[in-house]
Structure 1
Amino acid sequence: MTDQHEQEFLNNLEKKLWTSANKLLPSLDAAQYKHVMLGLVFLKYVSDAFDIRRDELRAQFANPDHEYFLDPADFDGGAEGEDYQAEVAVELEVRDYYLETNTFWVPPVARWQFLRDNNKVVIGGAELPVHIKGETKHIKISSIGHLIDYALEAIEIDNQKLKGVLNKRYTQLQIDQAKLGELIDLISTIPFKHESLSSKDILGHVYEYFLGQFALAEGKKGGQFYTPKAIVSLIVQMLEPYKGRVYDPAMGSGGFFVQSEQFITAHKGKIGDVSIYGQEYNHTTWQLAAMNMAIRGIDFNFGKEPANTYTNDQHPDLRADFVMANPPFNMKEWDSGVDDNDPRWVYGRPPSGNANYAWLQHMLYHLAPNGSMGLLLANGSMSSNTSGEGDIRKALVENDLVECMVALPGQLFTNTQIPACIWFLTKNKNARTAASGRQLIDRRNKVLFIDARNLGYMKDRVLRDFTQEDLNKICDVYHAWQTGKDYADQKGFCSSANLADIQKHDYVLTPGRYIGAKDVADDGEAFADKMARLTARLKMQFEDSDRLEVEIKKNLAGLGYEF
């Protein structure tokens, strides 16, 4: 979490960028605007990371104690000689130096300095010199849009995983070229140095901020690819994906993968110990996810193409150690082309009118024997008996797959007010050592219920959010329950229930059924006295209501309205 000073810095940066960009691109709708901004932020991000590595290499070439040291004595004129400087320039273009530190390789024509220096020059067309490994090549550029498209195409050529991913459509934009040049100048002002935040922190925050703003601007459609960061962080913190295969079958822009990387880094782990697998149906969102991974240097496998998870599974043989997802809530007509006897429907065929249990069983199918999963679903999934959903839920409980249920507060999402919950499932509740190193106790035939509906705060008039303390409170009780260390039921917040308890409630998994009401402090007033006082107050309020109703009707009659 950022401290107050860092957060103030980021908030001011957000406001500046969003306000300025809106002034520059008033003619674009949110769908176009999104690609214009995120494409340029992507170029700025990878270029800054590349420049940091270049500066490191220059220092290493000049350091006699480093293995990459270039001895000036081997060149005429020493360190200031042309031969030495030319050799440094050549070495700085060796791609392997960047790949060894997981730094994204950026070709010369895609580097931000090149774009910034030439965005005004190419208005109306120009021939530009490009210096590569000591040689100069001239390229013809017809406009600023062409300059940006050329940069993106060069990145795809040099980074095959991004082939066909980047939106090279700047030439086609129906906007004033000078405005596009001003936008490059604006993004150039994103500070890439801060006393405590790295450029990766800053630009990563900017990228996520714009994703969130586009989700708000595009409404429901935008919300399909954006999951609130706090919810993603909560699931990642609870599952602790330190090593193994991580899979999201409805990945959106890749938020779970980004948070997994940040979690691993924060806990001194190695991102190389995790393999990333994802799938996404929407082509635009699939592109955004690939860009999101690339700017962070995360290796990924998102399948050959954007595809429907149900009819064109891009990872049919995958058995993941961690599965995390926020699939579309209550999705209808999801099963066109899906076999009724699909091997994924182990616990019952999901109804055509709601995909909640289809997502859940798809994820279970791809879960490894010791794997754990967490997914967001609408609250109805915890209690619905429609079209066999109750039978599927019963089978999940009877097969001891459900580990924890978390009820969430409302107003967390930009695109829906549907109340949501998080399901945590595992195929192995036996005592064992988790990937995090935690020693888990035997939890067979037990389920932890957590009611987090009263946590969080209103960050504005519309949206609710969690603090880090809220997240820690939920995660701490979950891990305490898993390990058997310092866990105790808390009325109104958490309770550990056994199979018999759940059977008594007809396999309904709503936490409120199990945790009970929070104890209310005794105010010293006798119950009989309190009831008499409150009943008298209620009687007076009813009388006031009747009196006001008469007055309102009289006033309306005076205005000529009959009631």
Structure 2
Amino acid sequence: MKDIEKQFFDELEKKLWTAADKLRSSLDASRYKHVVLGLIFLKYVSDAFEERQTELNTQFRDPDHDYYMDPADFPDDYEADIAAELEVRDYYTEKNVFWVPFEARWQTLRDLAQLPPGEPLPWNVPGKDTPEKMRTVGWLIDNAMEAVERENGKLKNVLDKEFARTEIESHKLADLIAHFSATNFSQPSYHGQVLSLKSKDILGHVYEYFLGQFALAEGKKGGQYYTPKSIVTLIVEMLQPFKGRVYDPAMGSGGFFVQSEEFIAEHGGKVAKGKTGQISVYGQESNPTTWKLAAMNMAIRGLDFNFGGQPGDTMLNDLHPDLRADYVMANPPFNMKEWWSAKLDSDPRWIAGTPPQGNANFAWLQHMLYHLAPTGSMALLLANGSMSSNTNNEGEIRKKLIEDGYVECMVALPGQLFTNTQIPACIWFLTRDKANGFNLDKKKRDRRRQFLFIDARQLGYMKDRVLRDFTVDDIKKIADTFHAWQHDEGYEDIPGFCYSASLDDIRKHEHVLTPGRYVGAQAQEEDGEAFADKMARLTTQLAQQFAESATLEEEIKKNLAGLGYGL
């Protein structure tokens, strides 16, 4: 991102967050999150619709365009005919733009929100006969959401339609709409310079920023749907999902999909939009409200997605039973206790053994591995205990995963990375093909019986008093090390940071995968002084310090004696 774009986003984030935060006194964070993000989504679909409408209006009047409407063919009322043509749905859906009915368009909503109390609605919409006392700004927003859902099957049951029930005063919602309206998401400028940012890019960035802020505001509860962007970026940069199917069985708000899209775009690829593209996304989430957040997150970016059509418990109701994904990425709940059901006892997903009923860590891992394609790779965040625990069959499961050649790399993370837990975490990287995998049509080397350990606990910086974050250089250092090891391109062990271990090395450590056991201590710089000379110097220095200490002790005794206190 260019510096001027970063400055633009920083200022925009503060401006919009300040406006949205005014609702905090009326609602708790978990509720006003949906109010604000719902309005952001409505703003996006309306802006995208208006951009397409402006484009069409130009094309209808351009003699060199296929859509040209010759005034000679419309002698009665040319402008009325163009206006009618601009309302033809197919022009929008062919470009994967959501069709937005008139009552749901942002300008319409803004105008109606500013109407004085008691003023009749100036147009005919479903619900026009609703009693006046119920026609609040919240009702207008609900009406708009219902209209968008009704006209776009992909959004069925996705949008929040309970604005009227929040009982937020109409003037506060009207003010929030006005604040969002004041921002130019189309061809924005900053300090007189036009920025090359599309409305999708800006609103997507704002949406992600708000998700992070809400996660902080909600603390432990909010962190359940939000994985810090730097961790998501690290995993995506290491896996490099260039093409194929990407799956997240604990998707939260969909952060891994968003970062995958950005990664693909940066490398000149395409993400599936409609029926085309190099990569497509599949996900599952049990929490209904979080499931909606993820669906809106995808819609804001125009991504085609398959989230199973509904929320669902991944372990008890796998909504993608036949999926074999090229990349699987997830941040499931750590050490989840309440997950087991008797029907899971002989589940085919338990490739390496039945996971313990009181901890779902190895259930998530094996579920993901089960859904991997023959050449697929995966990464998941787990608590550090997963690397060494031997209780309730966990040690045997880990041993089988290692011996069967699935485990590829382990990364130990620093503490304080997450908003919702202080439990130390690690990243497991597994693959079904360590012998001859593909990456951008470039074969990796044969990595059978070899494992990479990376200890990243000393990396990162404190972004505030409680949270740590990775820098761009930190992410690059870890990802580059992984890729160099995979392709045998200049990889070297670095004491204290990384080590390429053999299967025999791991057997010596009884199949414990904690990186600290393998990478050793960080090398200390040599000072050039011979050992004998250093010992002589340090011995002399220590003798001098002992002598000084004895002298000081005698002085203290004399002073105390002078005060009448003897030792």
Equivalent-residue separation in structure 2 for 1:352 and 1:123 (angstroms): 58
Shift of 1:33: 0.8
**Deviation digits for residues 506-563 of structure 1, max 9, x if unmatched?**
11111222222222111234556767849959x98xx99xx9xxxxxxxxxxxxxxxx
Cα distance change, pair 9–364 in 1 and its aligned pair in 2 (3 A): same
Say if 2:504 is the partner of 1:500.
yes
Equivalent-residue separation in structure 1 for 2:10 and 2:530 (angstroms): 51
* Deviates most, 521-530 or 31-40: 521-530
Cα distance change, pair 440–175 in 1 and its aligned pair in 2 (3 A): same
Say if 2:173 is the partner of 1:190.
no
Shift of 1:245: 1.5
Equivalent-residue separation in structure 2 for 1:255 and 1:126 (angstroms): 43
For residue 87 of structure 1, give the secondary structure of its aligned residue in structure 2.
helix
The match for 1:239 is 239
The counterpart of 1:85, out of the listed 67, 79, 88, is: 79
Equivalent-residue separation in structure 2 for 1:23 and 1:167 (angstroms): 20
Equivalent-residue separation in structure 1 for 2:521 and 2:4 (angstroms): 39
Structure 1 alignment gaps of length 5 or more: 77-81, 131-135, 548-563
Equivalent-residue separation in structure 2 for 1:528 and 1:351 (angstroms): 56
The match for 2:313 is 308
| Alignment root-mean-square deviation, CA | 2.5
Cα distance change, pair 139–406 in 1 and its aligned pair in 2 (3 A): same
For residue 25 of structure 2, give the secondary structure of its aligned residue in structure 1.
coil
**Deviation digits for residues 20-49 of structure 1, max 9, x if unmatched?**
322344121112111111110111111112
The match for 1:213 is 213
Say if 2:103 is the partner of 1:106.
no
Task: State whether residues 104 and 295 of structure 1, in contact with CA within 8 Å, keep that contact through their aligned partners in structure 2.
Answer: no
Q: What residue identity is the alignment partner of 2:402?
A: V
Identity of aligned residues (%): 64
For residue 321 of structure 2, give the secondary structure of its aligned residue in structure 1.
coil
Q: What residue identity is the alignment partner of 2:115?
A: V
* Deviates most, 254-263 or 484-493: 484-493
The match for 1:70 is 69
Cα distance change, pair 137–451 in 1 and its aligned pair in 2 (3 A): closer
Equivalent-residue separation in structure 1 for 2:339 and 2:542 (angstroms): 55
Give the alignment of 1:21-32 within 5 angstroms: 21-32=20-31
The match for 1:520 is 524
Task: State whether residues 125 and 140 of structure 1, in contact with CA within 8 Å, keep that contact through their aligned partners in structure 2.
Answer: no
The match for 1:155 is 148
Shift of 1:221: 1.0
The match for 1:290 is 295
Shift of 1:177: 1.0
Task: State whether residues 64 and 71 of structure 1, in contact with CA within 8 Å, keep that contact through their aligned partners in structure 2.
Answer: yes
Task: State whether residues 128 and 140 of structure 1, in contact with CA within 8 Å, keep that contact through their aligned partners in structure 2.
Answer: no
Q: What residue identity is the alignment partner of 2:12?
A: L
Cα distance change, pair 23–333 in 1 and its aligned pair in 2 (3 A): closer
Shift of 1:95: 2.5
Give the alignment of 1:140-179 within 5 angstroms: 140=129, 142-179=135-172
For residue 277 of structure 1, give the secondary structure of its aligned residue in structure 2.
strand
The match for 1:120 is 114
Task: State whether residues 379 and 428 of structure 2, in contact with CA within 8 Å, keep that contact through their aligned partners in structure 1.
Answer: yes
Q: What residue identity is the alignment partner of 1:220?
A: K
Q: What residue identity is the alignment partner of 2:70?
A: D
Equivalent-residue separation in structure 1 for 2:354 and 2:458 (angstroms): 35
Task: State whether residues 506 and 513 of structure 2, in contact with CA within 8 Å, keep that contact through their aligned partners in structure 1.
Answer: yes
Equivalent-residue separation in structure 2 for 1:397 and 1:200 (angstroms): 43
The match for 2:275 is none
The match for 1:409 is 414
Q: What residue identity is the alignment partner of 2:10?
A: N
The counterpart of 2:481, out of the listed 477, 488, 491, is: 477
Shift of 1:197: 2.8
The match for 1:557 is none
For residue 224 of structure 1, give the secondary structure of its aligned residue in structure 2.
helix
Q: What residue identity is the alignment partner of 2:42?
A: L
Task: State whether residues 375 and 438 of structure 2, in contact with CA within 8 Å, keep that contact through their aligned partners in structure 1.
Answer: no
The match for 1:181 is 174
Say if 2:262 is the partner of 1:262.
yes
Task: State whether residues 128 and 138 of structure 1, in contact with CA within 8 Å, keep that contact through their aligned partners in structure 2.
Answer: no
Task: State whether residues 124 and 143 of structure 1, in contact with CA within 8 Å, keep that contact through their aligned partners in structure 2.
Answer: no
For residue 220 of structure 1, give the secondary structure of its aligned residue in structure 2.
coil
Q: What residue identity is the alignment partner of 1:256?
A: F
Task: State whether residues 128 and 139 of structure 1, in contact with CA within 8 Å, keep that contact through their aligned partners in structure 2.
Answer: no
The match for 1:556 is none
Shift of 1:341: 1.5
Query: How many residue pairs are counted as aligned between the two chains?
Result: 533
Cα distance change, pair 492–105 in 1 and its aligned pair in 2 (3 A): farther
Cα distance change, pair 100–496 in 1 and its aligned pair in 2 (3 A): farther
Equivalent-residue separation in structure 1 for 2:116 and 2:85 (angstroms): 30
Shift of 1:344: 1.1
Task: State whether residues 375 and 437 of structure 2, in contact with CA within 8 Å, keep that contact through their aligned partners in structure 1.
Answer: no
* Deviates most, 89-98 or 403-412: 89-98
Task: State whether residues 350 and 389 of structure 1, in contact with CA within 8 Å, keep that contact through their aligned partners in structure 2.
Answer: yes
* Deviates most, 159-168 or 187-196: 187-196
**Deviation digits for residues 89-138 of structure 1, max 9, x if unmatched?**
222222232233322332221111111111121644622326xxxxx999
Shift of 1:472: 1.8
For residue 450 of structure 1, give the secondary structure of its aligned residue in structure 2.
strand
For residue 225 of structure 2, give the secondary structure of its aligned residue in structure 1.
coil
Q: What residue identity is the alignment partner of 2:499?
A: S
Task: State whether residues 23 and 32 of structure 2, in contact with CA within 8 Å, keep that contact through their aligned partners in structure 1.
Answer: no
Shift of 1:400: 0.3
Say if 2:448 is the partner of 1:448.
no
Structure 2 alignment gaps of length 5 or more: 190-194, 273-277, 554-567
The match for 2:5 is 6
Task: State whether residues 460 and 468 of structure 2, in contact with CA within 8 Å, keep that contact through their aligned partners in structure 1.
Answer: yes
Q: What residue identity is the alignment partner of 2:249?
A: P
- TM-score when normalising by structure 2: 0.88
- TM-score when normalising by structure 1: 0.89
Task: State whether residues 311 and 337 of structure 1, in contact with CA within 8 Å, keep that contact through their aligned partners in structure 2.
Answer: no
Equivalent-residue separation in structure 1 for 2:503 and 2:65 (angstroms): 62
* Deviates most, 249-258 or 424-433: 424-433
Shift of 1:447: 1.2
The match for 2:565 is none
